[in-house]
Amino acid sequence: MPNQRQTVIILGATGLVGSQLLSLALSDQRIASVCAPTRRPLRTHLKLSNPVIDYDKLPDADWWQADAILCALGTTIKQAGNKTAFRTVDHDYVLAAAKRSKAAGCRIFVLNSSLGADASSGNLYLKVKGEIEQALAKLGFESLTFIRPSLLDGGPRPERRYGEEIGLWFGTRLNALIPKRYRPISTQAVAKAMLDAALRPKQGVHIIESEDLHHSIGKS
């Protein structure tokens, strides 16, 4: 794949991982421009275009024509309000955006998924993550990467997630006793892995598990 400066789309740029990803992309000299469609306006930047959109009515627009799309879009059942709304965000919105970008000629897609993503899982969160991975794999991107982090460690969230907070509390204090696969991982490490997958793409479908993210930190 060519080495010229890239144009990228970032979905979910207001979230913990997405905001880290946006910051990294805007400061990366390998990237010529960033398009970050959001529900509410972002701070302006010379390299940033920021269309304000409704994910229920994705527009036909020239900005879908990018080299890579990086998706950090996601929610929780509690935040979404119910199971149907959760699936709409984590599956339907992601797939709709992927189809738009693929039709516009985008060759590279990177998804922030989850440790344990499995379409056959009895856990709804992991089941939906597995289903969207399967759906994306059928679209035929030249390079498709799934990042599967464990618990995300990125500082306070706008909303309280008590189960996550408890997991992080134990994870940080018992870190040495927990296999790397299950240790909390920083949002910055996830964002960096996503950007690297987009800027140094490999042909085909690839999965980067949470333990691989920890190994990458050790090498950096």
Determine the pLDDT at residue 141: 98
Percentage of the chain exceeding pLDDT 90: 74
Question: In 48-186, where do the E strands start and end?
Answer: 48-49, 68-71, 108-112, 143-148, 152-153, 185-186
- Taking CA atoms, 65 is separated from 9, 61, 98, 210, in Å, by 9, 8, 12, 30
Distance CA 194, CA 110 (A): 6
- Taking CA atoms, 193 is separated from 5, 196, 210, in Å, by 18, 5, 11
Confidence band, pLDDT 50/70/90 cuts, at residue 162: very low
Asked if residue 64 lies in contact with residue 106, where contact means CB atoms within 8 angstroms, the answer is yes
Token look-up 């590279």 returns 108
Determine the pLDDT at residue 88: 97
Distance CA 4, CA 182 (A): 37
Determine the pLDDT at residue 181: 62
Whether the per-residue pLDDT at 163 is higher than 70: the answer is no
Asked if residue 21 lies in contact with residue 214, where contact means CB atoms within 8 angstroms, the answer is no
Determine the pLDDT at residue 216: 60
- Taking CA atoms, 101 is separated from 70, 136, 141, 144, 184, in Å, by 11, 12, 10, 13, 32
Token look-up 């992309």 returns 25
Q: Which of 127, 96, 94 is nearest to 112 (CA)?
A: 94
Whether the per-residue pLDDT at 139 is higher than 80: the answer is yes
Determine the pLDDT at residue 19: 96
Confidence band, pLDDT 50/70/90 cuts, at residue 179: low
- Taking CA atoms, 189 is separated from 55, 159, 207, 216, in Å, by 27, 22, 15, 8
- Tens digits of residue pLDDT in 76-120: 888 899 999 999 999 999 999 999 999 999 999 999 999 999 999
C-alpha torsion sign, points 207, 115, 112, 219 = negative
The single residue of 93, 127, 129, 192 carrying the catalytic annotation is 129
Residue 219 among the catalytic residues = no
Determine the pLDDT at residue 170: 42
Residue 138 among the catalytic residues = no
Distance CA 115, CA 47 (A): 32
Confidence band, pLDDT 50/70/90 cuts, at residue 151: confident
- Tens digits of residue pLDDT in 18-43: 999 999 999 999 999 999 999 999 99
Whether the per-residue pLDDT at 69 is higher than 90: the answer is yes
Determine the pLDDT at residue 18: 96
Question: In 15-107, where do the E strands start and end?
Answer: 31-35, 48-49, 68-71
The single residue of 93, 125, 127, 192 carrying the catalytic annotation is 125
Confidence band, pLDDT 50/70/90 cuts, at residue 4: confident
